[in-house]
Chain A
Amino acid sequence: MLFDLNVPWPQTTFTAPPTAQAIVTLKNTLAMLEELGYTHVALNFIVEQGAKIPQNPNPIDLSLVGEFQTRLNLFTRVTLLIDDPSQGQGVAKLSSAFDIVAVCPRTEKALLLAVTNLDIDIITFNYAERLPCFLRHKTVGAAIEKGIKFEVVYSPAIAGPAGYADGVTVSTAALQSRRQFFNNAASIIRASRSRGLVLSSGAASPLQCRGSFDVCNLLILLDLDHSRCKAAMTEVPSKVVLSGRLRGQSYKQTVIVGQYESLRATIDAPKRRKLGDTPSGNLMKRQKELAKH
């Protein structure tokens, strides 16, 4: 069970459908993720604030990627870009049509709004640019307390031809985006005290996908600890998907009547923790095995 909750859906407005070429690239990206061992993938549709929301707000047509229905668990996700907190109502209109609802605040006020008032699963940022404000533990902690997760998108770190054909120089934009990624990721890890983080690719092409070991390793270099890193690609995103599902189908995320099987089928999280899940438990398990022989 390995999650990638951010693969951009190649469409920027509600009206213009994705081109055939864009769909081919998307399918190749999905095939690459499958090869790298990912099992649950969310297709992410990004909405500008102030865009007029039509009757059916979900433009993601999963039948266009029909080949993957049996190979990956696909979800739909919407990310709303917010500048001005007075226009946060868009979230309510969108939330019923998507599996996961995310928000990308671009000002400090918008971040505060997202933390305090909105019913969302994920807060994300544009990691290639400066964060909207200095992240304080109080703000970020309040969001995590509520069950909102913060997303770290790693594709800006590998953007640009990190270059290796002879004599190719990296553009300053790519250099800037990488530097900014390391800065931003380090500050979100610090502000969240490593809790409630989700790691995802944001890969617009198969070249930007990386294996889970590589991604974890990069974040460990940025001071995220080992077990939390693993959780950020497995357990935490599974909670995001579950809470997204519960939003539509349950009463206040607690009571649900019927439909248990359909909910259960969307997420195959193990019911009980196993002995090997923690380092100390793992050690105990190995001791037991040694004692057997």
Chain B
Amino acid sequence: MVRLKTRYILFDILYPDSMSPGYASQRDAMLVLHQPSPQNINQKILINTLRGIIQEFFGDFGAGTSGISLTLKYFSNKTSTGIIRVGRSAYRIVCAALMMINRLHDNDVVMRVARVSGTIKKCENYAIKRNNEMTRLLRGGEADDNRFRDDVMGITDDEMNDE
């Protein structure tokens, strides 16, 4: 009997505003985009929205197959970051559905997948690393050139090491 294999999707919510003049520097832009989420965006809303989108884009088949173990493991309003667990065979469908979200409770949002991993530990570590990097940038540090280079495909080596 083969164990059910899963993927953990680390995502964050960005709040773009096309009217405000918050673009003067990279720092200002980051402060606008990485706002804390309002209180009315909670785990329940997020997962319901996601299920709705999967139903809309992939129909009954997509909703059924991806629903096997679709759960929101973690969401923090302060950092607008969360982790979703999903069965391995359906993670691309779930990522695509996340990408299609652009409104949550009257807020214009863009959802970004930051990392897909086979273990939740790796997602957590990556989230911590990314937050450190971001605080460093906000304090006026120089951008690290390699910051996004590894992220072009998001899927990394630890996927192969998944036992």
Contact = CB atoms under 8 A, between A and B. Distances in A.
Residues of B in contact with A, size category: 35 or more
Interface residues of A, number: 47
Contacts of A269: none
Interface of A: 1-2, 21, 24-25, 27-32, 34-37, 67, 71, 157-158, 161-165, 168, 170, 205-207, 209-218, 220-221, 226, 229-230, 233-234, 286
Given A35-B30, A214-B112, A165 B106 contact: yes
B49 interface: yes
B148 A2 contact: yes
Nearest to A32: B16
Interface in B22-64: 22-26, 29-30, 32-33, 49, 52-53, 56
A43 to B, nearest CB: 15
B105 interface: yes
Interface string B1-22: 0000000000000101111111
B155 to A, nearest CB: 8
Contact of B152 (A25, A170, A230): A230
B93 interface: yes
B67 interface: no
Given A28-B16, A36-B112, A71-B26, A210 B99 contact: yes
Given A32-B29, A217-B95, A217-B96, 18 more contacts: A2-B152, A30-B23, A31-B32, A31-B33, A32-B33, A35-B14, A35-B33, A37-B151, A67-B23, A158-B100, A164-B53, A170-B56, A206-B17, A210-B112, A212-B152, A213-B154, A214-B99, A226-B153
